[in-house]
Structure 1
Amino acid sequence: MASVREAVLARRSAPKVTDVAPDDATIIELLVAAERVPDHAALRPWRVIALRGAARSRLGAALAEASGLTGDAASRLAAKPERAPLLLAIVATSTPHPKVPQWEQDAAAAGVAHLLSLLLDEAGWGVMWRTGPYTRHALVAAMHGLGANEHLLGWLYVGGVPEGARAARTGLPPAPRFSSLD
C-alpha cells in the first residue's frame, strides 16, 4: 500500500476513461474514508449522488437547456456527461450554525470530493473532477433534486483506466505556494 504522500504525488486526472466503473458498494466504502475530513461541529455538510445510465443523459439535457444553446452546440454539451460511465455529483449542504459559516461547510464538502478522487485513483479508477458554467444553474440543481440549502461543487467523472494511460505526470514543476511570517 502506498503512503498518503505517494498517493498524492501519483494522482493525475483521467480525462478519458473506459466503460467500467465501481459499484455503489465500492463508492460507499471509499466515501467512508473520504468523510474523515475536518468537519467543524460534525455537520457533515455534503452528500454524493451517483449518476449512471439515463441519469447522465438527463444531466446532459439539463446542461443544454441551461446553456440556451441550440443545434450542434447543444448536442455537444448534452453529450459531455456521457464521457464516463459514472458521475459522482458532489453536493455541498449548508446548515445555519453560529460557529461554522457556509464557506467552511463548502470547504469540508470540497475536501470530501478531493479525498474521494484520491481514493478512487489509488484504487485504480480513472477520475476527473469537472465543473462548468452551468454547474450551479437552477435547471441542473433541479435535475439532481437539490434542496434550497444545497449546491453542486461539480462531478467526479469515474471509469476504468485505458491501457497505457498511467504515464508519468507532466506539467508544471513543483513550486509550493508557501510563505512564512514571524
Structure 2
Amino acid sequence: MSNLLAAVEGRRSYSRVTDVAPTHADLLPLVAASARVADHGALRPWRLIELRGDDRVRLGEAIAKAEHDEKPSHKPLRASLLIAVVVCEKKSSKVPLWEQEAVASGVAHTLSLLLADAGWGVIWRTGHYTRSKPIRKLHGLKKKEQLLGWLYVGGIPENAKTGYRKPIDAEEFLSRLP
C-alpha cells in the first residue's frame, strides 16, 4: 500500500484538539501543495483566511448575531487555528460555479489531508450561518464569494479516540454505464 493510500485511509476528523497549532510559515507549503487540485481553466477560485486569537472571539460574536443569540458562540474557541475556506466565483464561459465550488472544496480537503499527514488534528466545520450577513462581513467577503466553512486545526490530544468508519463496499459506488 502506498503512503498516500494509507494516509487517506487513516484520515479522521478530530472534534477536539489541543491549543498547539501550525504557524503561518508551516501552512504555506501545505497551501501551495493544496493548490495542485484539478482546476479547469486554472481559475484558482478560492482563498483561505487564517483565524487565530481574538479573531475566533469575533467569529463567535458574528455567529451569535447570525443566530440572534445574546451570548457569543464558543464554537470557534475549540481550536487555536481556524482556516476559513472561501470560494471566489470567477467569470468564465467554460467553468460553471458548481465546478469552481468543487475546486475550493478540493483545496480544503487536500489541505486537511496534508495537515493530518503532518500530525495535526483537523475537522471541517460548517453551519447554516456560513452564508449569513454577519459572517460574510466578518470575513470581508466580496459579492461573488461564499464561505464553505472552516478547518479547525490543532494538536491531537493524547487521549483521542481512534475513529472508526465502517469500510464501504466499493462495488456499490463504482459502476459502468448501463
Shorter-chain TM-score: what band?
A: over 0.9
Structure 1: how far apart are the matches of 2:175 and 2:159? 38
Residue 149 of structure 1: how far off its partner (Å): 1.0
Deviations along 1:126-171, whole A, 9 cap, x unmatched? 000000110111110110011111110000000001114262x313
TM-score (normalizing by structure 1): 0.92
Structure 2: how far apart are the matches of 1:151 and 1:17? 26
| 5+ long unaligned stretches in structure 1 | none
Corresponding residue of 2:176: 180
Structure 2: how far apart are the matches of 1:91 and 1:139? 15
**How many pairs were matched up?**
175
SS of 2:17's partner is: coil
SS of 1:56's partner is: helix
Structure 1: how far apart are the matches of 2:166 and 2:51? 33
SS of 1:111's partner is: helix
Corresponding residue of 2:132: 137
Structure 2: how far apart are the matches of 1:5 and 1:100? 30
Structure 2: how far apart are the matches of 1:57 and 1:69? 15
SS of 2:131's partner is: coil
Structure 2: how far apart are the matches of 1:164 and 1:63? 30
Superposition pairs of residues 68-79 of structure 1, within 5 angstroms: 68-70=68-70, 74-75=71-72, 78-79=73-74
Corresponding residue of 2:53: 53
Letter in structure 1 aligned against 2:150? W
Deviations along 1:40-94, whole A, 9 cap, x unmatched? 1111000000000000000110000001123xxx44xx11000000000000000
Residue 28 of structure 1: how far off its partner (Å): 1.1
Letter in structure 2 aligned against 1:65? K
Superposition pairs of residues 109-124 of structure 1, within 5 angstroms: 109-124=104-119
Residue 179 of structure 1: how far off its partner (Å): 2.3
Alignment match of 1:154 (pick from 143, 149, 154): 149
Structure 2: how far apart are the matches of 1:131 and 1:21? 20
Structure 2: how far apart are the matches of 1:61 and 1:29? 31
RMSD of equivalent CA atoms:
1.3
| 5+ long unaligned stretches in structure 2 | none
Moved segments of 4+, more than 6 Å: none
Corresponding residue of 1:10: 10
Identity rate, percent: 52
Residue 29 of structure 1: how far off its partner (Å): 1.0
TM-score (normalizing by structure 2): 0.94
2:26 equivalent to 1:26: yes
SS of 1:61's partner is: helix
Deviations along 1:12-51, whole A, 9 cap, x unmatched? 0010000000000111110111110011111100000000
2:59 equivalent to 1:64: no
Structure 2: how far apart are the matches of 1:59 and 1:38? 31
